[in-house]
Each structure stands twice: as C-alpha cells, then as structure tokens.
Amino acid sequence: MAGKRFTSTTVDIEGREETRVVELPSFTPDAWGDGAGLSIVGTSALRADGVEKATGRARYTSDVRQSGMLHAVILRSSIASGKITSLDIGGALAVTGVRDVLTALPGITRGGLPLFDRTIRYAGQPIAAVCADTEEAAREALRAIRVTYERMPHAVTAADALADHAPRVRGDNDNRPDDSPRTLERGDIDRGLAESDVVVRAEYRTPVALHTALEPHGSVAEWEDDRLTVWEATQGIFMIREHLARAFAIPMSHVRVIMQYMGGGFGAKNGAGPHSYVAAAFARRIGQPVRCINDREAEQMDAGNRPATVQRVTIGAKRDGTLTVISVDADVPIGIGGWEGGPGQIYHEVYRCPNVRTVDRYVYINASAMASFRAPGHVEGAFGLERAMDELARELKLDPLKLRTINYATLDQKKNRPYSAKHLDLCYDLGAERFGWSNRQASNETHQGARSSLRRGFGMATQIWGGGGGPPAYATVRINSDGSADVLTGTQDLGTGARTIFAQIAAESLGFALDQVRVVLGDTERTPLTGNSWGSITTASVGPAVRMAGEDARRSLLEAAGELMKAEPSALDVRDGVIRAPGGTQTMTVHDLMDSLGDVMIIGNGSRGPNPDGISLSAFGAQFAEVEVDIETGIVRVLRIVAAHDSGRIVNPALAESQLHGGIIQGLGYALFEERVMDRALGIPMNPTMHDYKIPTMMDIPDIDAFFVGGADTMANHIGAKGLAEPPIIPTAPAIANAVADAIGRPVREIPLTPWRVLYAMRDERP
C-alpha cells in the first residue's frame, strides 16, 4: 500500500467555502455510474429504524432516563435590554428537592458573550439555572428567584439598530459585525443599467422563521471522574464533543456524545447550547446525572431562527429578455449573534448575467441569535430574486419560465468554472410538462366562476444549492463471525434516513443482502469521525467513506474465500451474501465462510477523498405552484406543487421523496403563515407557542408531485450522490408567491402571505 499523503481540498458548507488539509484515501473505487448495475443502491428499501419509530421504542434524548438523574431548568430574561440589579436565589434554595442553583458559569461563552450575564441583551436570555430532584421542584424554584432589572433602550429591527444613537446591542460596536456589509460584485453595475431596456426596482421582505423541531434542544450529562458522557439532541456529535471539552477544560477524548434518535433539527442543533452547559455543569458539581431539556417556550424564544431580510432589488434586461444587471442591497438583522448566511449569494449563482452586485448588511439587534435553518440565506434570497424575475417577465411580456431559460447559466457564474453536472434544464422541461405549464391559462379559465371571488394563479421558481460534501468522513465495516456486517460511522440520522442509505451503500459494496448489514452511528466513542449533518452534505461526504470501507472489507473477504475455496481471489465474486467462483462452479455463503474461519472479524476502513479541483458541485431544481386566492378574504390555498430536482444519484427514492415533501411543506409554511411576531415597543416575541407560530397542518397540504431528474454525478464523488435535504425548501415560497401575484394581478413583495398582506398587496400597499 502506498504511503499516506495529505492534500488540500475545498468543501462548500451552506455557502461557506472551507479549505482543509485531508488524508488521501489509500484507494479510490471506480465511480458508480448510471450503468453500474447496482441492485440495492437506488431501491426504496424500508427505513432501517421504522419499527423503532412506529412502536415508540426509539429513545430520543428527551426519553433518556439515567439512574439518580436530576432535572435542571433555565431562568430566562423577561426584558429585551438592561442590567440585572439584583438576583435573589434564597427562595429557590428553600424549595424542597432543590439541589443547586447557578447564576454564573465562568469561562463559558456563547457567540463571544458570557452564557449567564448580568447584562441583558434580548428577551429569553439565560440568567440562572436550578437543579432539583424533580422537574416540578426545579420549576417551582425558578419561580421563587427574584430578579430586578434596570431597563435600557432596545432595538429589535434593523432600522432601529442602524438609526443614529441606536442602543449598542453588544456594547462594543455600531451593531454591525466586523465584516458587515459584505459586498460582492462582478462586472459593472452602471454599465449593466445603461444597457438595460427594462429595469425593475422593488423591495422584498421576508420574516423571522422558527425551526420548531418537535423535539426541543436538550441534554443529559453524566460524569465519571473527569470523563463526561452526554446524550444530546444534535446534528453534530463531534462538534458537541469539541464544545464541551473546551468549556470544561478536559481533553476531547474524555467526552463521549451520544445521539441515537432526534426529533428534528433543521439546522438549529449544530453546537452546544445553554442546556448542554447547564446539564454538564450541574452534573459535575453534584456528582449525579442531570437532564436539561428546553420547554416549548424556550425552544421558540431562544433556539435559533431564520433571520428576517429586507432586499432592495434592481434587475434589468434587454428587450429580448437577456439579463444585463442584477443588484441587491439587503438588511439582515441576525439577533445578538450567529453566523452570516446572506441572501446575496443566490443572486450571483442562478442566472447568466455579467453585472451582479450584492450587499449583505448584517445587523445586531436585541433578539435571540439566528441559527442556520434549512438552506440559510438561499431561502431568503430566492424569494427576492425569483419574485424580481417574475416582475421583470411581466414588464417584458415574457413567460416567466422563458425568461429563466433565456438566461440559463452553463457555468458557475460566481466562481467562473464548470459544474460537475447540471440538469436544471431537465428540471424545467419535465417539471413544466408534468405541471402543464404551457396550458395553464386555459386551465385558469375553466376554474373561474364557481365562486366569483376565487382566482387561480400559477408560478414557478428555481433553486441552486451546494451539497457536494467533502472530507473528513471515516467509516469502518466489520464482518462478524456470524456473517453479518456492521457499518460504524460517526454521523447522525436526524430523520433523513442516514441509517438506511448507509446500510444500502455498504451492502452494495460488500455484496451482501441488505438485511445482513446494520449501521452503528451517533456515538463519538464507538464510531470514527465525520462532520455535522448540515449543508445537505452527509450522503456525499459519508457515503463514499462507507462504500470504500465496504470495498476494503470485501477484498479481504474474497482473499479468505480464495484460500478456502482454492481459487484466485480476483476471480471470485460476492452477491447477496454468496461467494461464487467463475462459471458458477463453486459457491459458498459468507455465513459459511466466516463460520469456517472461526471466531474472527474482517475489518475494512474507508475515508472520504478530496473534491475535484476547479469544479463546482451543486444541486438544482425547479418548482411549479398552482394557488387559489379568495380576493374577498385574502386567503390563499396552494392546490398543487410540482417539484423537479437534480441531486445526482438517489440512493433511496422513497426516502428522498420524503425529503422533497418535507422541504416543500416547510417552504409552504414560510410562504403563507410562519412568522415570529416581535413587539417592537417591548422587544419581546409575542408568539412562542405552536398555536400562535403557525406551521402547516395536514389541512394545508397541496397535491405534491416531487421527483428527481438526471442521474449519478460521477465527477462529484464515486457514489455519484449530491445533497437533497435543503434544496427543496428553496424555491417553494417564491413559486407560491409568484402564483399569488399571478392570481391577483399585482406584485407580491412580502411574506408570509397572510390574508391581510394579500389584501394590501391587491391595493399596492404595505400594511
């Protein structure tokens, strides 16, 4: 085997490009092309953990019960800005069953700010925590803590935070992160404007959206000497390990993080949070396991959000529809912190246009920090860009789909390089065909008249997203003496189906039947490292490592078989768990082979290799929407969505379809109902419940026809797969909004499209 070599590669995670030095795999399997003759990959195998979930046996973090476990709860600020002048915990300590109260956690910070701080920067900020024998006692004690505040002015909108003499949200700057505004430009905007025959200028607004995962953030922590075990609802067990090791000044190898089942993440569960630090801190001080799980109000108040945006768009084209200029100036109030996934990026990526300028102006406000939320930035940006494209099409009297195909980009515009594969044209063609796009006006006429206030409308929108994945990701495959195989990899299954698809990939590469393979994941101590499940990168990152581990184990298996069967290993094949000599002269099951070898184990290892140089890896898609708007009440009903997506190879079509449904339905909520309502005068979110923050119910679901086009992207990686979890949420809201605009014959520039916004839009006004 060749000596180890290390190389640099770039990985795209939710629009951020990172360069990493990585180990080159010891071998690279031939890529699985469309004609690879795969028999397990590409089938709709049933979800590997379906029985556990359907029977209630699956143990989520909030179901973990350890012997002697105590309960911690967190007290949160009721004001948006100010100082704590007194914090009296005497009453709390007097409650029966209370074990400990924390009012400071020295050295532990979140977003560069102390976790428990006497300075209040937003409503819902943690200020103290109680630990008790029961959760009930802990809550009673929480109510007995007396806090007095000195209130100070707050700013909960970008405009308020950017005004002269605005309160300093973080104290140390002008409410702008160091690199804000972030400007990105290609070509010359002024030249583009001068060359335009038609220019549309409009301002688009998107709301703060809350992840609203059904399982809240939570943690159960237990210490043994200076070793910490944590059950955590997380998208990144290794990131939690790193955060907790740093916070408690212990080696990373002393922290074990376990996540077997999680009730939804959607981007908000990537790192340690107050609950994690509080559980681990109490557990260490008291010497017993401690559970700390957000209640629903805490989850809706302070567990991440998709920030609001205001996007001022200028878009221009020649009379024939050729784009000459795209420009956006966006305000993004991110809360008191968070990373910056801006709406600007997608403006550079989707359409061929020589002159593009984006300004993303991030602003600190007195509100809970944002967190990545399914395609952060692109979801917000797609609304502005795709609405502006429709307004431009209307001005040009061009079909909206035609305007998009006129400006089809064959190259990655932003990086000026080719894509590994791009089948957006097929998404347009097949999506339009299945939707009946070219017949839509005729169908509109046939549906008029039942009630005169109902209007039908049709719209579509485009999507682009990374999701090419990359290193590091490792996997081990163990063939056991009973002929079964275990796949060990340190990723997590958020409900996406990772457990299932990695079993499929391993079974395929091993030549085993699917039921011989089991996936072990979600445990930092028992599995090799992979990254977070974010950016739709898990399949494309971990999949190749799993495949390689399977191939590695298969090689050893066939060498052992060659010895036993007196045959040349390279002439042997294994399929469905049966080893065959050429011509079918001799067969042996893997079970019998392993049995003859005695009590041994065959081990294969795999790692994710670097990405190809100079090529962009992206997923594409287009969605088409039909809506019905009641112009008297402003109520919008989405009747139909057709979604055509290109995400390379689809490992499991049924599970992939479920992901498309999920993205579309979350996008529908974003388009029609979802909105954190902030009281500007008080600085307090008004709707931190599931009744008042409206997510879609079964009554809201349109007829959905979601499917994939294209095929294996063998240039991207050797399993040919790209990301598909985030892409489907990106075009849904603009497609619906475009359909509403079509129905009412007026521009729609703000979501969610609640009835009053629709009624105002019909008068070309904003509420």
Give the residue numbers marked as catalytic: 726
C-alpha to C-alpha distance for 543 and 345, rounded to whole angstroms:
28
Q: Which is nearer to another protein, 46 or 194 (CB)?
A: 46
Name the segment binding another protein (CB under 8 A); options: 2-10, 16-24, 205-213, 449-457: 205-213
Using the rule CB under 8 A, which residue among 666, 717, 738, 754 binds another protein? 666
Q: Which is nearer to another protein, 17 or 703 (CB)?
A: 703
Q: Which is nearer to another protein, 24 or 701 (CB)?
A: 701
Name the segment binding another protein (CB under 8 A); options: 262-270, 431-439, 501-509, 676-684: 262-270
**What's the closest the beta carbon of residue 694 comes to another protein, in angstroms?**
10
Using the rule CB under 8 A, which residue among 1, 442, 681, 698 binds another protein? 698
Using the rule CB under 8 A, which residue among 261, 282, 373, 428 binds another protein? 261
Any contact of residue 183 with another protein (CB under 8 A)?
A: no
Using the rule CB under 8 A, which residue among 377, 457, 535, 663 binds another protein? 663
- Angle at CA of residue 722, ends 716 and 726, nearest 5°: 145
| CA nearest neighbour of 718 among 568, 646, 612 | 612
**What's the closest the beta carbon of residue 697 comes to another protein, in angstroms?**
5
Output the CA torsion sign for 52, 57, 62, 65. negative
Positions 117 through 176 that interact with another protein (CB under 8 A): none
Q: Which is nearer to another protein, 2 or 698 (CB)?
A: 698
Any contact of residue 214 with another protein (CB under 8 A)?
A: yes
Q: Which is nearer to another protein, 681 or 699 (CB)?
A: 699
Any contact of residue 686 with another protein (CB under 8 A)?
A: no
What is the helix (H) or strand (E) element at residue 150, kind and residue range? strand 146-151
Any contact of residue 264 with another protein (CB under 8 A)?
A: yes
Name the segment binding another protein (CB under 8 A); options: 194-202, 477-485, 571-579, 696-704: 696-704
**What's the closest the beta carbon of residue 733 comes to another protein, in angstroms?**
14
Q: Which is nearer to another protein, 184 or 639 (CB)?
A: 639
Any contact of residue 453 with another protein (CB under 8 A)?
A: no
Q: Site for another protein (CB under 8 A): how many residues?
A: 55
Q: Which is nearer to another protein, 403 or 519 (CB)?
A: 519
Any contact of residue 677 with another protein (CB under 8 A)?
A: no
Q: Which amino acid would we find at residue 338? A: G
Q: Which is nearer to another protein, 450 or 698 (CB)?
A: 698
- 338 secondary structure, DSSP code: -
Output the CA torsion sign for 582, 586, 592, 596. negative
Using the rule CB under 8 A, which residue among 630, 658, 755, 762 binds another protein? 658
Name the segment binding another protein (CB under 8 A); options: 363-371, 428-436, 604-612, 697-705: 697-705
CB of 546 within 8 A of CB of 487?
yes
**What's the closest the beta carbon of residue 198 comes to another protein, in angstroms?**
38
Q: Which is nearer to another protein, 210 or 385 (CB)?
A: 210
**What's the closest the beta carbon of residue 536 comes to another protein, in angstroms?**
15
Any contact of residue 665 with another protein (CB under 8 A)?
A: yes
- Nearest-10 crossing angle of helices 378-396, 732-744: 30
C-alpha to C-alpha distance for 655 and 46, rounded to whole angstroms:
8
CB of 724 within 8 A of CB of 619?
yes
Name the segment binding another protein (CB under 8 A); options: 93-101, 255-263, 408-416, 759-767: 255-263
Using the rule CB under 8 A, which residue among 116, 266, 364, 458 binds another protein? 266
**What's the closest the beta carbon of residue 732 comes to another protein, in angstroms?**
11
Dihedral Cα 146, 148, 153, 159, nearest 10 deg:
-10
The C-alpha R_g of the chain, in whole angstroms, comes to 27
Positions 366 through 385 that interact with another protein (CB under 8 A): none
What is the DSSP code string of 509-523?
HHT--GGGEEEE-SB
C-alpha to C-alpha distance for 538 and 655, rounded to whole angstroms:
14
Any contact of residue 40 with another protein (CB under 8 A)?
A: no
Any contact of residue 59 with another protein (CB under 8 A)?
A: yes
- Angle at CA of residue 478, ends 560 and 586, nearest 5°: 30
Q: Which residues of 573-582 are buried (b: 16+ CB within 10 A; e: fewer)?
A: ebeebbbbbe
Any contact of residue 664 with another protein (CB under 8 A)?
A: yes
C-alpha to C-alpha distance for 751 and 753, rounded to whole angstroms:
5
Using the rule CB under 8 A, which residue among 52, 573, 576, 630 binds another protein? 52
Using the rule CB under 8 A, which residue among 200, 421, 704, 724 binds another protein? 704
Any contact of residue 518 with another protein (CB under 8 A)?
A: no
C-alpha to C-alpha distance for 316 and 439, rounded to whole angstroms:
28
Phi-psi region of 271 (alpha: psi -120 to 50; beta: other; left: phi over 0): beta
Any contact of residue 498 with another protein (CB under 8 A)?
A: no
| CA nearest neighbour of 25 among 627, 387, 548, 734 | 548
Any contact of residue 57 with another protein (CB under 8 A)?
A: yes
User: 523 - beta bridge partners?
Assistant: 258
Any contact of residue 32 with another protein (CB under 8 A)?
A: no
Burial of 200 (0-12, 13-18, 19+ CB in 10 A): buried
Q: Which is nearer to another protein, 284 or 640 (CB)?
A: 640
C-alpha to C-alpha distance for 379 and 734, rounded to whole angstroms:
9
Using the rule CB under 8 A, which residue among 21, 46, 411, 601 binds another protein? 46
Using the rule CB under 8 A, which residue among 93, 631, 635, 690 binds another protein? 690
C-alpha to C-alpha distance for 360 and 345, rounded to whole angstroms:
9
What is the helix (H) or strand (E) element at residue 578, kind and residue range? strand 578-580
C-alpha to C-alpha distance for 216 and 177, rounded to whole angstroms:
29
**What's the closest the beta carbon of residue 495 comes to another protein, in angstroms?**
3
Burial of 441 (0-12, 13-18, 19+ CB in 10 A): exposed
Name the segment binding another protein (CB under 8 A); options: 41-49, 137-145, 452-460, 755-763: 41-49
Number of neighbours of residue 228 by Cβ within 10 angstroms = 22
**What's the closest the beta carbon of residue 643 comes to another protein, in angstroms?**
12
Using the rule CB under 8 A, which residue among 5, 21, 34, 50 binds another protein? 50
What does each C-alpha distance from 360 to 15, 252, 376 come to in angstroms? 14, 36, 13
Q: Which is nearer to another protein, 300 or 327 (CB)?
A: 300
Cis ω before 472 (30° cut-off from 0): yes
Contacts of 415 (CB under 8 A, 6+ apart): 616
Any contact of residue 56 with another protein (CB under 8 A)?
A: yes
Any contact of residue 295 with another protein (CB under 8 A)?
A: yes
Any contact of residue 687 with another protein (CB under 8 A)?
A: no
For residue 256 the two structure tokens come to 């074990």
C-alpha to C-alpha distance for 135 and 95, rounded to whole angstroms:
12
**What's the closest the beta carbon of residue 374 comes to another protein, in angstroms?**
11
Using the rule CB under 8 A, which residue among 63, 395, 429, 573 binds another protein? 63
What does each C-alpha distance from 455 to 206, 444, 632 come to in angstroms? 24, 8, 10
Residue ranges that bind another protein, judged by CB under 8 A = 44, 46-47, 49-60, 62-63, 65, 211-215, 261-264, 266, 295-296, 494-497, 654-655, 657-659, 661-666, 689-691, 695-699, 701, 704
